[in-house]
Chain A
Amino acid sequence: MSDFDQTAQELNFDGPNSYVGRSVTRPNARRLTQGRGQYVDDIVLARMVHVAYVRSPHAHARIVSIDSKKAAKMPGVARIVTGAEIAMVVKPYVGVLTHLAGMRSPPQYPLAVEVARWQGEPVVAVVASSRAEAEDAAEAVEIAWEELPAALDAERALEPREPKIHKEFDSNLCFQRTIDTGGVDAAMQSAHLVVEDTLHFGRHTGVTMESRAIVADYNAAEHSLTVYHATQAPHMMQDIFSRHLNIPEANVRVICKDVGGSFGIKVHVYADEMATAALSVMLRRPVKFIADRLESFLTDIHAREHKATVRLACRKDGTIVGFDLDDLTAIGPYSVYPRTSGIEGNQVVNLVGGPYAHKAYRAKMNVVFTNKNVTCQYRAVGHPIAVALTEGIVDLAAGKLGMDPAEFRRKNLIADDAYPYSFPSGLKFEKLSHHQCLDKLLALMDYRGLRAEQAALRKKNIHRGIGLAAMIEVTNPSPAFYGVGGARISAQDGATVRLEPTGMVTCLVSVTEQGQGTEGVFAQVCADAVGVTIDKVRVMTGDTGVTPYGGGTWASRGAGIGGEAVLQAGKALRSNILDIAAAVLQIDRATLDVRANGVVDKGSGEEKLPLQEVGRIGYFRPDTLPMKFQSELTVTRHYTPREYGFTFTNGIQASYVEVDTDTGFVRLLRHWCVEDCGTVINPLLVDEQIRGGIVQGIGAAMLEECLYSAEGQLLNGSLADYLVPMTGDAPDIEIAHVVTPTKQSELGAKGVGEAGTAGAPGAVMNAINDALAPFDARVCVQPFTPERILKALGKI
């Protein structure tokens, strides 16, 4: 046994039923270390064919003609399908939600019909016996195009002379939202100080290491469809395949085994994936589509692309009296189905100013169509924008007043005893801990010491900066997020817990595993709830044919919602086990408990009946139980958060950077995060969610941008050209927690998957601007590339 054998450490706890709160290792991790996972591209089915797509080379162009005669004769080709043909099989879809009033988006088809509206839009499907042959033939498909003028600039998208992307609409406006509490103008006029800033956020994308992947297997005899899909929401996709391919829901099964990262990329309907499912129906055989990296950059949802102006008014003592926001975001030619592309802007409007106690808030937001790839919900949806806007303007105000940024925040953060609290945008906070988090962060990072070090180094011409970013985060969403808007996206999740005859426990959950450790934390919760050691628990997720119905993985909801369902199901199973034990032992049930794989005497802990005996009797010798007694060793429970629209978390991050003012290069020296996600089920996994999220946020702040030419051509569609953080780009990150469990659930867990990404760009931006302060320079365009920093310094 090596030093790293986890089994001993896993099980050597000081007491039974104590897994929640412990850094337990993940049961599925060892399989993945041996390369013995099963991602979609690892699946091979009999008679399976592969599809490659001919994609639009233009941002906006009319299809004049398609000639696939030559391609059809190429080796291995099974079928070539155009948009018009596939539209006969797939019911079109529209990405709007009724609670986002006035939102509009035209019907979408899996392949472009008549007009292509972004570079990369799939136009023709080429199916062949191998992907290589499909690609060969795709190159031989001849499409005559008539290029159309393209609307590419978000700021000009609504101008009357700009090309209209959809002829059925009078402008390129998708959605508009305003909020006005009243009193903003008065607050601005009477304020001691009003500061204003405009920030630009580039487009970036998720870059999952496993690209989007689907194998669709239509069985004509059964009129059934089995889809192996790298997805975050199997039941949502089951519903969508059913309705849009006209196959009864019960005949559609979505199986999601190992998924190579998602981050919000794999929770949307993609034209090429819908087409792949339709092709399986048309060809009556399995069809595989694996996006290559160029296709990923061209068509995985992009995110952000905002230009936003924010104003903050405050009194002489620093008290914030109002926020005013004007946000513009460009989403590509369609609102993505079924979640829509309005949610990110909506979140920005909801969240700006979020940590602070002010009463006057006004926001205006325009969501516009452009001829670039679609944007939609990627990790931390809207939060990084809202946090950077809020925390940037807060620092600007503190600077103008000559106040320390930490003190300015302390003055304005909502008091820890002010909850429940209604925020001017309409959000309701159950219980947050901003002040505890701020205090803990300042101690963790030795804020005073760092300020002294910064001042000393400035004298040596070394320019370091400290940036803070307080944040609130939407987690555990109720049906208010999608369901009320008409989307068939479940806000509830379910867990089925079953005692097996051997005393093992099988736990089936509707939340999916994307690598975040879902199955690990459910094993912990289940083991505690039932009263078994964790090695007895087998968790299964990601199969609509097996698990209860549920929403899946998104919006930092898996642990908080799925975990509560597991807890309640586990407790119910424990209760049913005690019923059997009491019947077998002829003992008062109240004197019994389940601990460490056996029924024990509650007082002494003496084992009365091992669970394998309960299983044996329950399944094989029920004849020995009382006549009317029926054992129930399988239990299902569901959970939906209801009391609040969202279970908000809060936290604060800090970044410490050094800017080389000659080259514009920034070194990220340290990063800290104090987060309050309620009950911490597994510190190892929670901290790594935060770290991984922070590093994605660092990518957004420093490196990542989908660059388009003036003609709407993506310029950097490869991992060599689009930079994501590498090992050397990420600093070591210190994490600490404040624990304020939500009282809505017994488990008390809030979400944590997006907190890091939400806060990191704002913290890094503030740190860079703090370093640049002696030069009276500021950066305001993300990512903060060396070129942009040198421009801010007036050096280029």
Chain B
Amino acid sequence: MNAAVETLEISLTVNGDRVKRSVPARLNLADFLRNELELTGTHVGCEHGVCGACTVRVDGEIVRGCLMFAVQADGCAVDTVEGLSDSREIEELQSAFVLYNALQCGFCTPGILIAAQALLRDQPNPSRERIREFLSGNYCRCTGYQAIVDAIEAVAKARQARSGR
């Protein structure tokens, strides 16, 4: 039998919903989310872990959806841009991205937003250099990055101001 089409049962939580599927062993997580669950907000840009367009969150940590097999997500909690939008967790970042026009074509944007949220969770007050460094795994071909850095910096400052620091 063709090993490529060998399927395995997985069950996981995606954006809070329980999901059970039988998937080919070779199917990566990004393709699983896009093609099986029709969560097309996760984009595939390079398929080898460089561009960051497929960034999603697995058990709270950001990962490249193209570098992880769907079967490896068995038992995990996966968050995609759709879920993080509906839960409003990244709403402030999204609004800042709109205000600063930190996106043009939008293809890289979901991945960048999820990466930015992870940065601000761990480092609430990053310098511009730190933001640039952290996002070095997320390619944007349109903006030249400056507006992205501006937007993330502005959200960090707003959150700092609100928390009274």
Contacts and interface: CB of A to CB of B under 8 A. Distances in A.
Interface in B54-95: 80-82, 85, 91-92, 94-95
Q: Is the interface of A mostly helix, strand, loop or mixed?
A: loop
Interface in B9-68: 24, 26, 34, 38-48, 50-51, 53
B118 interface: no
Contacts of B95: 2, 4-6
B56 to A, nearest CB: 10
Interface string A192-210: 0000000000000011111
A695 interface: yes
A9 interface: yes
Interface in A254-279: 258-261, 263
B142 A515 contact: yes
Contact of A35 (B4, B82, B148, B158): B82
A32 interface: yes
A647 B144 CA distance: 26
B92 A719 contact: no
B135 to A, nearest CB: 4
A415 B109 CA distance: 44
Interface string A665-680: 0000000000000000
Contacts of A691: 143-144, 146-147
Contacts of B53: 209
A211 B44 CA distance: 9
B117 to A, nearest CB: 12
A37 B154 CA distance: 25
Contacts of B146: 688, 691, 730, 732-733
A38 B105 CA distance: 11
A29 B133 contact: no
A694 interface: yes
B104 interface: yes
A132 interface: yes
Q: Name, among B106, B135, B139, the residue most crowded by chain A CB atoms within 10 Å (CB to CB).
A: B106
Nearest to B155: A4
Nearest to A720: B50
Contacts of B38: 44
A30 B94 contact: yes
B144 A293 contact: no
B92 A35 contact: no
Interface stretch (A425-433, A581-589, A721-729, A764-772): A721-729
A685 B104 CA distance: 9
A726 B82 contact: no
Interface string B95-108: 11111110111111
B98 to A, nearest CB: 5
Contacts of A206: 141
A695 B105 contact: no
B4 A210 contact: no
B4 A209 contact: no
B103 to A, nearest CB: 6
B163 interface: no
A33 B149 contact: no
Given A516-B104, A517-B104, A720 B43 contact: no
Contact of A696 (B106, B109, B141): B141
Contacts of B99: 4, 6, 9, 25
A193 to B, nearest CB: 37
B103 A33 contact: yes
A517 B108 CA distance: 16
Q: Name, among A206, A517, A693, A724, the residue most crowded by chain B CB atoms within 10 Å (CB to CB).
A: A724
Given A25-B98, A732-B146, A293 B141 contact: no
A293 B145 contact: no
B7 to A, nearest CB: 13
Nearest to A696: B141
B101 A35 contact: no
A33 B92 contact: no
Given A2-B91, A719-B46, A719-B51, A517 B132 contact: no
Q: Name, among B41, B96, B99, B131, the residue most crowded by chain A CB atoms within 10 Å (CB to CB).
A: B99
A34 interface: yes
B4 to A, nearest CB: 6
A39 B39 CA distance: 13
A211 B38 CA distance: 19
B45 A692 contact: no
Contacts of B81: 34-35
The 3 closest A-B pairs by CB, nearest first: A35-B41, A32-B106, A515-B105
Interface of A: 2-6, 9, 25-26, 29-39, 41-42, 44, 75, 132, 136, 206-211, 258-261, 263, 292-293, 514-517, 684-685, 688, 691-696, 718-720, 724-728, 730, 732-733, 756
Given A6-B95, A261-B105, A719-B51, 18 more contacts: A2-B95, A4-B96, A32-B105, A33-B97, A34-B85, A35-B110, A206-B141, A209-B141, A210-B45, A260-B43, A261-B104, A515-B103, A696-B141, A718-B46, A728-B133, A730-B145, A732-B146, A756-B144
9 contacts: A26-B101, A33-B106, A35-B109, A35-B110, A42-B40, A132-B24, A208-B105, A515-B105, A730-B145
